Amino acid sequence: MKALAIKYIFPLLFLFLWSCKNEERAQEGQHHQDEEQLFISKEQADYIGLETKVVKHDTVYQKISVIGEIGVPPQGNVTISAIANLQILSIKKLVGDQVRAEEVIAYATSPMIMQWQRDYLSIQETLELAQKELERQSTLNEQRINARKNYEQALTSVQKAKAELDESRSRLKMIGINPDELDDGELYERIPVKSPISGKISGIYVKRSQFIREGSPVFGIVNTHHLHAELKVFEKGLNKVREGQQVLINVPSIGQSFKGHIFLVSNTLDTEGAFAEVHAHFDDEESLEANNLKVGQMLEATIFTNSYQAYQVPQSSVFMIDDQYFVFKKTGEADNGYTFEPIPVKRGDEEGSKVNIELLTSERGAPFDLVTKGAYFLASMISEGGGHHN
């Protein structure tokens, strides 16, 4: 809102006539006023709804308003994907269910599963034969009965078989099969799908008996123990944001606000160059669980950046005369009325209906009685000659 302009308005005609009518009574209490002070009667003050309030010099903040959403660290948000072409046999959980790390949440099958187990057993048998041949060639080499070349070939075969066996073991472990349990020759026809982390099921992307391709998403798991705010700060305000600054985070969908602080400021703008991501941690994580916050919920946030000392006053209390901003200070009160003095000020940052100001007088920093309602009428009385001055 802009400062109040000084102009003539019709309701003040009544005030001026009223002021003249009661001039003799009004002048009784103003014989010792300064020339810059304005006097109005109590009747005039009541008519215009004049109000005052003592304002104090206080710490105020420059603020940046941003939007964002609730997020979790990368390790707390995982998607389980199919490691081969699979058929889903059964699903043991629902969306929203709590799961533990390594807990089975589904079973699946695939012809590749049987083939990988057979490959493992075959490679294991090959390794055993290669080790026996290596032992034989080692003995012959020591007795110098055979060429050393044959020993080296046998050693290479063992090393190759070991590498293939390690690869096969890793593949089986990745699909949830313990290779050591295959030694008796019994093969698994199905494999368990396990949760890699503790958390809640955030998504189920398959159905029972469905065939899915390798790499297709199967389940989503989210751990919400470390929720944070993922904020989008536009480039023009990014240089004001620092780690450790306080943040007020509002979640409109639940009508709740939470205190937090800036934890990480990205140095990279998005692909369109409009904003950078800033991460904020909540000061009280326990309150988040009580309010059942969810990953992806939209939020609004206010980042408190630079601080300075100022008076925070209603914008309606500030007016302009000859390119200079003023406010009215109540300087006295008598039985028949009040006295006010216009004080030059410097306008600062605005916040809604409030504006930060600084006095341009020797009294700067001291509390004073500010006209919060009615400043427009008082300013108009000065401009048009209303009220009384000494």
Q: What is the pLDDT of residue 5?
A: 39
Global pTM reads: 0.63
For domain 11-62+308-384, give the CATH number: 2.40.420.20
Domain 11-62+308-384 matches domain 75-221 at the CATH topology level: no
User: Alpha-carbon distance 364 to 368, whole Å?
Assistant: 10
CA-nearest of 288, 307, 287 to 348 is 307
Q: How far is CA 146 from CA 129, 138, 150, in A?
A: 19, 9, 7
Joined together, the tokens standing for residue 191 give 């494999």
What are the residues facing 234 on neighbouring strands? 275
Q: How far is CA 134 from CA 12, 102, 121, 149, 153, in A?
A: 113, 40, 20, 12, 9
Q: How far is CA 211 from CA 84, 109, 199, 353, 373, in A?
A: 11, 10, 26, 60, 72
Q: What is the pLDDT of residue 388?
A: 46
Helix (H, G, I), strand (E, B) or coil at 140: helix
Which of the residues in the chain have pLDDT under 50?
1-35, 386-390
Tokens 């929720």 map to which residue?
227
User: Alpha-carbon distance 179 to 172, whole Å?
Assistant: 7
User: Alpha-carbon distance 124 to 214, whole Å?
Assistant: 27
CATH 3.40.50.720 fits 66-74+224-305, yes or no: no
Joined together, the tokens standing for residue 237 give 């305000």
Which one-letter DSSP state was computed for residue 97? Answer: -
Joined together, the tokens standing for residue 262 give 């800036």
CA-nearest of 351, 382, 345, 352 to 57 is 345
Choosing among 3.10.20.30, 3.40.50.80, 2.40.50.100, 1.10.3720.10, the CATH entry for 75-221 is 2.40.50.100
Instruction: Provide the residue ranges of all domains of the chain, joining segments of one domain with +.
Output: 11-62+308-384, 66-74+224-305, 75-221
Q: What is the pLDDT of residue 87?
A: 94
Dihedral over alpha carbons 271, 272, 275, 281 (to 10 degrees): -30
Q: Report residue 112 CA to chain centroid gap.
A: 45
Q: What is the pLDDT of residue 146?
A: 64
Joined together, the tokens standing for residue 227 give 């929720």
- Cα atoms in the Cβ-side hemisphere of radius 13 Å centred on 214: 8
Helix runs in the chain, H state only: 11-21, 23-27, 42-48, 111-142, 148-174, 235-238, 285-290, 375-384
Tokens 């043991």 map to which residue?
92
